[in-house]
Structure 1
Amino acid sequence: MDEILEKEDDGELKVGMEVHSDAEAYDLYNNYALEKGFSVRKHVIRRDSSNNIRQREYVCSKQGFQMDENLCEVKKVNKLETRTGCKALF
């Protein structure tokens, strides 16, 4: 990744911004998300033939839905469902 992501003067992230590393992109988006009141998680990663990261998606921690569970399986504890289908991504 040879892009530099920087916040604009208005504090918003803009399309086409660039970063130098996966960690820098994650830190930048995570800090932005905290300011806006949500949290993020790493999602899809795509690599080139040399195994270099070409694309990485960061999504809202509530993105998607919980997988269907096996109804025959007895569970000790029912977990709170946190995935609600949020569409925020970076």
Structure 2
Amino acid sequence: MDEFKDDKELKVGMQVHSDDKAYSLCNTYALRKGFSIRKGHIRRGKSNNIRQRDFLCSKAGFLSDQEVCQDKKIIR
């Protein structure tokens, strides 16, 4: 996280050497921009090493508050 404080921006194709460091970098960036993130899908290589991890907006995939309070119609 120290290297991110030097006003470096995240770039496509950046590589880090641990899952925790990647989450820390992305979360710091997200908080700067005004939102938070959560860990998503993980992809592993043949040797079971993490090759790719998705970080999503913390609200992604969830219903908004207004939709939760409304009655749902059941289609039969």
Report the TM-score, using the length of structure 2 for normalisation: 0.67
2:61 alignment partner in structure 1: 64
Q: Aligned pair count?
A: 63
1:15 equivalent in structure 2 = 12
Correspondence for 2:39 among 39, 42, 60: 42
Q: What letter is aligned with 1:17?
A: M
Unaligned ranges ≥5, structure 1: 1-5, 67-79, 82-90
Unaligned 5+ runs, structure 2: 66-76
Determine which structure has the larger helix proportion and give its number. Answer: 2
| Alignment root-mean-square deviation, CA | 2.3
> After the TM superposition, which parts of structure 1 deviate over 4 Å for at least 4 consecutive aligned residues?
none
Identity across the alignment (%): 66
